[in-house]
Amino acid sequence: MPFMRRWAETGSWLLRHEQGKGIGTLMRQAVLAFAVDELGAEVMESGGMVGNQASLAVSRKLGYVPNGYRRHVHADGVGWRDVEMYLLAPGDLVRAPYPVVVTGAAAFRASIGLPS
């Protein structure tokens, strides 16, 4: 079996007209519950550009704790932006209001080389 870091990173992007309706929160909860329950993730990481209040608010309300900053240099090599980093432990994941029900996990695990 391959070495597993059990470390999950998320990033999400919604069309502008779908933002601010709670969808990003539900999306992240679904992915995190899947990572913990089905893939055995032990640490989950997320980052949001400083000032990206919606992204950072989703992290905070789902139980992440702040984990410092990372500096991202733009592709042109000139500019940069600071990213606020967050970490989440499985037991701190806020799962309300909906349970996440996963189907087909065994087939997915097999497709990426994990034991069933």
Ligand X SMILES: CC(C)(COP(=O)(O)OP(=O)(O)OC[C@H]1O[C@@H](n2cnc3c(N)ncnc32)[C@H](O)[C@@H]1OP(=O)(O)O)[C@@H](O)C(=O)NCCC(=O)NCCS
Minimum distance of ligand X from residue 30's CB (angstroms): 12
Q: 44 near 10, Cβ under 8 Å?
A: yes
Residue 110, interface with ligand X (CB under 6 A)?
no
Residue 55, interface with ligand X (CB under 6 A)?
yes
Residue 58, interface with ligand X (CB under 6 A)?
yes
- Residue 71 to residue 7: CA distance in whole angstroms: 21
Alpha-helical (H) ranges within 1-116 are 23-37, 53-61, 105-111
Residue 50, interface with ligand X (CB under 6 A)?
no
Choosing from 22, 40, 66, 68, the residue that interacts with ligand X (CB under 6 A) is 22
Residue 71, interface with ligand X (CB under 6 A)?
no
Choosing from 31, 38, 45, 52, the residue that interacts with ligand X (CB under 6 A) is 52
In 1-116, at which residue ranges do the beta strands (DSSP E only) sit? 7-9, 43-49, 65-73, 80-88
